[in-house]
Amino acid sequence: MAKRSVDFFFDVISPYSYFGFEGITRHRHLWSTPVRLRPFYFAGVIKQSKNESPPLAIPIKEKYMYKDLVLNAQYWGVSFRIPKDYKKMMFTSSSIEAQRLLIAAQLRDEKLMENIARGLWQRLYGYNKEIFSRHDMESVLRDRHVKDANELIESSQSDEVKKILRENTDEALQTGCFGAPWTTVKDASGKTTHAIFGGDRLPQIADLLGEKFHGNLLDQAKSQWSL
Ligand X SMILES: N[C@@H](CCC(=O)N[C@@H](CS)C(=O)NCC(=O)O)C(=O)O
The interface region with ligand X, picked from 12-20, 30-38, 99-107, 167-175 by CB under 6 A, is: 12-20
Nearest residue (CB) to ligand X, 178 versus 213: 178
- 62 binds ligand X per the rule CB under 6 A: no
Is 44 a binding residue for ligand X by CB under 6 A? The answer is no
Interaction with ligand X in 167-196: which residues (CB under 6 A)?
178-180
23 contributes a contact to ligand X by CB under 6 A: no
Catalytic residue, chosen from 14, 95, 155, 156, is 14
Task: State how far the Cα of 172 lies from the Cα of 41, in Å rounded to an integer.
Answer: 10
Pick from 9, 10, 16, 80: which binds ligand X (CB under 6 A)?
16
Interior angle at CA 98, CA 46 and CA 143, nearest 5: 145
What is the C-alpha to C-alpha distance for residues 149 and 139, in angstroms, rounded to an integer? 10
- The angle subtended at Cα 46 by Cα 133 and Cα 122, nearest 5°, is 40
CB 136 within 8 A of CB 130: yes
- Count the Cβ atoms, other than its own, within 10 Å of residue 218: 14
Q: Tell which residue, 196, 149, 158, 171, has the closest CA to residue 44.
A: 171
Can residue 39 be called a binding residue for ligand X (CB under 6 A)? no
Binding residues for ligand X restricted to 125-164, rule: CB under 6 A = none
> Which residues, 199 to 218, sit near ligand X by CB under 6 A?
199-200
Residues binding ligand X (CB under 6 A): 14-16, 51, 54-55, 178-180, 198-200
Catalytic residues: 14
